[in-house]
Amino acid sequence: MFKLQGKLIRKNDTRQVGKNNFEVREFVIEDSSGQYPQIIQFQLSTDKCALIDSFKLGEDIEVKFNLRGREWVNPQSETKVFNTLEAWQITSMGSPEAMASSLESSSDVTNPDDLPF
């Protein structure tokens, strides 16, 4: 299991793939934890496609996912490998601004000289 936090920057529509009613939906987050921001695409499949519905663009989320890989042989007999980040759980991290304003509004503003000790 892997997990990654970032800002939701794109949600694609659900689409059908193949002939067996297999559905996929992709979404993209921006991970700004390193020196250079990384744009990372995840995939939801079939019964998980609706997981991203309740999240808004710009929202900070954490994605738990599995790494999947498969081979494909093209018409020229070359073998290609494809990797997919298959998301299975998404949680809101709350935006830093919202968390800061929530802390400010809930904190008691007191005079430092009025401390109880």
pLDDT at 76 over 70: yes
**Hey, how many other C-beta atoms are within 10 angstroms of the C-beta on 100?**
11
Q: Are 86 and 69 in contact (CB under 8 A)?
A: no
Helices (H), ranges, 1-115: 96-106
Question: Reduced to 3 states, what is the DSSP secondary structure of residue 23?
Answer: strand
With CA atoms as reference, report the closest residue to 48 among 10, 90, 84, 5. Answer: 90
Average pLDDT, the chain: 85
116: Cα within 13 Å, side-chain hemisphere = 0
C-alpha 94/C-alpha 61 separation (Å) is 7
Beta-strand pair 79-92/15-17? unpaired
Mean pLDDT of 12-34: 93
pLDDT value of position 106: 39
pTM over 0.85: no
pLDDT value of position 110: 44
pLDDT bin (cut points 50, 70, 90) of residue 18 is: confident
2-96, which class in CATH?
mainly beta
Supply 112's token pair: 């430092």
Q: Are 4 and 30 in contact (CB under 8 A)?
A: no
